[in-house]
Amino acid sequence: TTVAVDQEFEIPPGDPAFSVDAEVGFIPSQGELLAFSPHMHLRGSAMQIYGVKDGKRETLLDVPQYDFNWQHIYELEKPLSLANFDEVEITATFDNSKENPVNPDPGAHVTWGEQSWEEMTLCFFEIAVPLDAEPAKAELTEDEQAKRQVKIDAFVQEFIEKFDLNGDGEVERDETPLALEKFGFWRLDKDHDRRLTKSELEDLARHKLDFETE
């Protein structure tokens, strides 16, 4: 499981069609895309997912009428090779107008947050990597190893800051967005104790770096 996410946005009051773009930060070139799970809150109105190759976009999924109460996992009929794309991007659209019947407050400036009256630009991607796939391996210098560890530490810190609501340094299943809770939490929770420890998140970060395209 990997994600496209953008936390740095602010939806203006009354805006009926505010768009936020994000891209998947990690694409394993040997992987195959199996499914998507868009996640926004009450102001979320639409989401599109694109595969990008040589600057040209191909629409992989179009959700023109997103409903917070009907969040879906969209499975592809056939796995899609990620070698076909340089990037995978999303565009999320939000309706902060008074015409949105479930809008908690059309006069609010809306930013990222866990509560339904706040918003998220987030999409989970289910990816399969062949069992015989070999991650890119090379002898790392001490400097390269140090830089790799910095990336791992930054990933873990960002994940915990984003989802650790009670501040205990771990991420419990109930603290994650509904889409992650249903979509991929069990794959990350290796010991099945319903929480993600720093060690489990470090393993995830290493896995991503091992298959990261250059």
Token pair, residue 71, equals: 């969040």
- Average pLDDT, integer, range 71-92: 90
Tell me what pLDDT residue 60 has.
Answer: 94
Q: How many CB atoms lie within 10 A of CB 68?
A: 14
Residue 209 in this model has a pLDDT that exceeds 90:
no
Tell me what pLDDT residue 132 has.
Answer: 55
pLDDT digits (tens, 9 = 90+) for 119-139: 999 998 888 876 655 555 556
CA distance 74 to 77: 10
Cβ-based burial of 90 (10 A; exposed 0-12, middle 13-18, buried ≥19)? buried
Q: How confident is the model at residue 67 (pLDDT cuts 50, 70, 90)?
A: very high
CA distance 103 to 105: 6
CA angle, 117 then 118 then 124, to 5° = 120
Q: Are 135 and 143 in contact (CB under 8 A)?
A: no
Q: How confident is the model at residue 24 (pLDDT cuts 50, 70, 90)?
A: confident
* Domains of the chain listed by start with CATH number: 2-128 (2.60.120.230), 142-210 (1.10.238)
Residue 94 in this model has a pLDDT that exceeds 60:
yes
Q: How confident is the model at residue 39 (pLDDT cuts 50, 70, 90)?
A: very high
Q: Is the dihedral of CA 90, 214, 30, 154 positive or negative?
A: negative
Q: How many percent of the chain have pLDDT more than 70?
A: 88
Residue 204 in this model has a pLDDT that exceeds 90:
no
Tell me what pLDDT residue 214 has.
Answer: 42
CA distance 45 to 117: 14
Its pTM stands at: 0.66
Tell me what pLDDT residue 47 has.
Answer: 96
Q: Are 38 and 29 in contact (CB under 8 A)?
A: no
Half-sphere exposure of 82 toward its Cβ, with a 13 Å CA cutoff? 24
Token pair, residue 92, equals: 């999320």
Tell me what pLDDT residue 51 has.
Answer: 92
- Average pLDDT, integer, range 56-73: 91
Question: What DSSP string describes 124-146?
Answer: EEEEE--TT------PPPHHHHH
pLDDT digits (tens, 9 = 90+) for 164-199: 888 899 888 888 776 666 656 777 778 888 888 888
Tell me what pLDDT residue 102 has.
Answer: 96
Tell me what pLDDT residue 182 has.
Answer: 60
Residue 212 in this model has a pLDDT that exceeds 60:
no
Total residues found in the chain within this entry: 214
Output b/e per residue, 145-158; b: 16+ Cβ within 10 A: eeeeeeebeebbee
Long-range contacts of 54-61 (CB under 8 A, 24+ apart): 54/86, 57/89, 58/85, 60/33, 60/36, 60/88, 61/36
